[in-house]
Amino acid sequence: MEFGLSEEQVILQDSVRRLFEEQSPLDKVREIADTGTGFDANLWQSCVELGMVGAIIPEQYGGSGMNFFDAFIILEAAGRCTAPVPLLGTMAMASVALLQAGSDAQKERYLAKVSSGERKIGIAITEVVNRRDEAGLTLDGNALSGKALFAIDAGVADLFLVAVGNDTLVMVERDAPGFSINNLPTVDKTRCVAELLFDDTSVEVIGDAGNVSEAITKMLDAGRIALAADTLGAADVMIEKAIAYAQEREQFNRPIGSFQAVKHMCADMVAELEPARSLVWYAAHAYDFVPEDARLMACHAKSHMAEVASVIAKTSVEVHGGMGFTDLMGLHYWFKRIGLNRQLLGGPEQIRHEAAIIQEWIAA
């Protein structure tokens, strides 16, 4: 069986990689990280113009009408540059949720604005993934109260898509009365997450209250595959940087890449990543085309890629020796992106527990 990129997908991959490499070099990432916003407005506009933001939105709403694997290619390219743009929340998760759960009027109202980049949407689904102490939400009609933690892409979001329990979605305007946002500092300064506080805040219910559990699950699956794609891109770059450094750094008048121990470290990273790449690719493919496998593969892709990339990040830094810890090399941006991705939308242990339930190995 041949499973590879089509000619059109290769062109897409080349285009988006070139864009991110040109507009999100390491120096630019450093600059954005220092601002604390985790957002590059110029890069975002370029993503909009290239049709990335509306990648999976149908053409009737101003989108590109791509499938989820095409979006995966874009997200992987963004991960290669730790691109400080809210593609995870807006492009992947919000688009899926609105397409799955929104009424016709809500799709008309929101999707065109997402495609055009006019609206950026943060995602708060801690109610579904793992409710924390002193958090949780209650909805009384159209009034929302409570706290949601670790809202994704919250720093520059105009709207917030919030899960209330496992079966209700609501949309909240950033300037809604009774709504406040507290940014939560994490190791990754290129992506902003936040705590959302609601005090009798007026919200819009997306679709039918209490009847969108399937849409929430699809959104969660999309988010996990998107995180796996981002992590794959970051891990790929860390391997490339380790190999390049091993070829140029000399010790005892020889490149350190000629030493057997360093060769094995680099070879082990590649050997770990390639099978994981196949797994994540299949998860992205199954999302649209093999629905019976989609949820399980999303769990496996996110959990396994998180584990593999963590080992690669550590090994890449070790290959660089003392230089690996310096800001000059910039490895910490990819290292920290991999670390945050590991925990967002559930860590590996939790997601594997979900996978075991899906396969009926354990009781729910």
Residues 104 and 189 reside in one and the same domain = no
Nearest-CA neighbor of 114 among 42, 64, 80, 172? Answer: 64
Q: What is the mean pLDDT of the chain?
A: 94
Say if residue 235's pLDDT is above 90: yes
Amino acid occupying residue 72: F
Q: List all residues 6 or more positions away from 67 whose beta carbon is below 8 Å from its beta carbon.
A: 56, 288, 289
pTM of this structure: 0.95
Whether the Cβ atoms of residue 192 and residue 184 lie closer than 8 Å to each other: no
DSSP states of 330-363: -HHHHHHHHHHHHHTT--HHHHHHHHHHHTTSS-
Give the range of the structural domain holding residue 30, as residue numbers without chain letter. 7-115
Are 166 and 13 in contact by the 8 Å Cβ rule? The answer is: no
* 172, part of any domain: yes
Q: Provide the terminal-to-terminal Cα distance of the chain, rounded to the nearest Å.
A: 35
CATH of residue 254's domain is 1.20.140.10
Shared domain for 264 and 228, answered yes or no, is: yes
Q: Is residue 2 one of the residues assigned to a domain?
A: no
Q: Domain boundary residue among 151, 183, 206?
A: 206
pLDDT score of 337:
97
pLDDT of residue 132: 72
The reply to whether 133 and 254 lie within a common domain is no
Q: Examine the domain organization and report whether 125 and 155 are in the same domain.
A: yes
Whether residue 65 lies inside any domain: the answer is yes
pLDDT at position 100, please?
96
Residue 145, Cβ density class (10 Å: 0-12 exposed, 13-18 middle, ≥19 buried): middle
Together in a domain, 70 and 152: no
Q: Are 155 and 217 in a shared domain?
A: no
Give yes or no: residues 64 and 138 share one domain.
no
pLDDT score, position 78: 97
pLDDT in tens, 220-231: 999 999 999 999
**In the beta sheet, which residues pair with residue 147?**
136, 197
- Region 10-36: mean pLDDT is 93
Tell me how many domains the chain contains: 3
Same domain, 73 and 105: yes
DSSP tag of 132: P
CATH number at residue 157: 2.40.110.10
DSSP category for residue 131: P
Coil, strand, or helix at residue 190? coil
Do 269 and 180 fall within a single domain? no
Domain boundary pick from 147, 180, 206: 206
Of 97, 115, 133, the residue that ends a domain is: 115
Indicate whether 364 belongs to any domain. Answer: no
Q: Are 257 and 247 in contact (CB under 8 A)?
A: yes
Query: pLDDT grade, residue 350 (50/70/90)?
Result: very high
**pLDDT tens readout for residues 173-222:** 999 999 999 999 899 999 989 999 999 999 999 999 999 999 999 999 99
CB atoms under 10 Å from CB of 156, counted, come to 20
Residue with tokens 């290769």: 10
Same domain, yes or no: 95 and 175: no
Residues 106 and 128 both lie in one domain = no
Q: Same domain, yes or no, for 237 and 219?
A: yes
> Does 363 reside within a domain?
no
